[in-house]
Structure 1
Amino acid sequence: MKKTIIFLLIICVNIVYSQSKIYAFIGKKISVERVKPDDHFYLKYRNVYKVEQVFDNEIKTDTIIFNSYTHMNQIGYSVYDYAIIYLMKNNSGNFIQKRTYYTPIILNKDGKWYGFDRSDETIQDYESITAKNLHISKNLKTAKVVYPELKKRKYLIKAFYPSLFFNYVNKNSIEIKNLKTAENLYKEKVKEIFSKKN
């Protein structure tokens, strides 16, 4: 009897979570600002992004405004100029970001977007990119605000531009080594998000 009840509970949880839809898009950051929260449990951020590519037909605008909610003052996605942002809808039908899931997007080459997942530990399924330098001083300035404890540039570069995917050039520049297509990154992240829910 106990096993039957546990089995039914698992089925119910899976049904509820399978109805949670994820809406994703590649966005160019326009602004990310901290605003007054709805409660004392979460920090709230108001985000404005230009929509560069959608992974879902429900995002129909060229600019999207959404709120993010997090327990920590660590909005890592704001460091990058471009990112895949993963949203849900609240009870009012508005896009929100309950957990700050994102994937950094670094390059648009021949009309295709490329990025990386900082949690990846190998470059399997990544493409070797012909050397291309990125000027990242503006991004590192944002990173310093997001992670004030990482005072030195080399620590910020290591945190946001891992050596598996980039080569250090100088204190303001890095060179791309390996990136993955946005479509593959999107599929993997959605799978990861749903596996964490179950």
Structure 2
Amino acid sequence: MILLANIVYSQSKIYAFVGKKISVERVKSDDSFYLKYKNIYKVEQSFDNEIKADTVVFNSFTHMNQIHYSIYDYAIIYVVKNDKGDFVHKRTYFTPIVLKENGKWYGFELNEKKPENYLPVKPYKLCIKNSRKTAKVIIPKFKKQKHIVEAFYPSQFFEYVNKNTVKARFLQPAENLIKQKF
């Protein structure tokens, strides 16, 4: 059944939007293998005409108890529609968004190793205090501040300033990051 669900969702149309986290809370799941989360995000920018509301409520499922996108205040979230027409998060795919400048959103790919395709940005200080708190809750194995910063604000894109602050060095516009996913 899980394999069937993965096949169906992998062939579904994907909808993407830049969202601001309002809440991410664990709720009771119908399936004992997966943990279920109810997510509420404010839509800051939609990349598809299907997302018309200013707020999107969607469920996400994981079996690892690690909802990494919830660490960031903003992210590009990729969702699909289920049989009932409700949005469901697609295998917890997301792209962190950390900066809005001149009306454009900028972010990075966590698993990108080289910043060659990224734009240098003027040194922009980013407060990560809330991100650190969220990371400690959902990933308790990260005990040290440095591990959280390294995992969620990689050195190829950010410079460590102190435990609550990093400086953005290289980012990409959200539109470019979306194109890479499709």
TM-score range, shorter chain: over 0.9
Give 3-state SS (helix, strand or coil) of 1:99's partner: strand
Change (3 A) 1:108 1:73: same
Contact 1:166 1:178 (8 Å CA) reproduced: yes
Q: How far 1:98 sits from its partner (Å)?
A: 3.7
Contact 2:9 2:90 (8 Å CA) reproduced: no
Bigger radius of gyration: 1
| From 143, 154, 157, the counterpart of 1:162 | 154
Give 3-state SS (helix, strand or coil) of 2:80's partner: strand
**Which of the pair is proportionally richer in helix?**
1
Contact 1:70 1:98 (8 Å CA) reproduced: no
Structure 1 Cα separation of the partners of residues 147 and 113 of structure 2: 18
Alignment of 1:6-17 (within 5 A): none
- Provide structure 2 residue ranges, at least 5 long, that are not aligned to the other structure: 1-7
Structure 2 Cα separation of the partners of residues 161 and 18 of structure 1: 28
**Which of the pair is proportionally richer in strand?**
2
Contact 2:78 2:90 (8 Å CA) reproduced: no
Structure 1 Cα separation of the partners of residues 145 and 67 of structure 2: 18
| From 126, 136, 155, the counterpart of 1:144 | 136
Could you list the structure 1 runs, at least 4 aligned residues long, displaced by more than 3 angstroms after superposition: 16-19
Q: Are positions 1:135 and 2:127 aligned together?
A: yes
Q: Report the equivalent of 2:73.
A: 81
TM-score normalised per structure 1:
0.86
TM-score normalised per structure 2:
0.93
Deviations 1:82-138 (A, max 9, x none): 000000010111100140000000000000000000111111210000011011111
Structure 1 Cα separation of the partners of residues 107 and 58 of structure 2: 22
Structure 1 Cα separation of the partners of residues 14 and 70 of structure 2: 20
Structure 2 Cα separation of the partners of residues 39 and 172 of structure 1: 38
Q: How far 1:147 sits from its partner (Å)?
A: 1.0
Aligned length: 175
Structure 1 Cα separation of the partners of residues 9 and 34 of structure 2: 22
- Provide structure 1 residue ranges, at least 5 long, that are not aligned to the other structure: 1-15, 191-198
Identity score, percent:
62
Q: Are positions 1:67 and 2:59 aligned together?
A: yes
Partner letter of residue 22 of structure 1?
Answer: I
Structure 1 Cα separation of the partners of residues 180 and 117 of structure 2: 11
Q: Report the equivalent of 2:29.
A: 37
Contact 2:36 2:62 (8 Å CA) reproduced: yes
Structure 2 Cα separation of the partners of residues 176 and 18 of structure 1: 33
| From 166, 170, 176, the counterpart of 1:174 | 166
Deviations 1:22-43 (A, max 9, x none): 0010000000000000110111
Q: Report the equivalent of 2:112.
A: 120
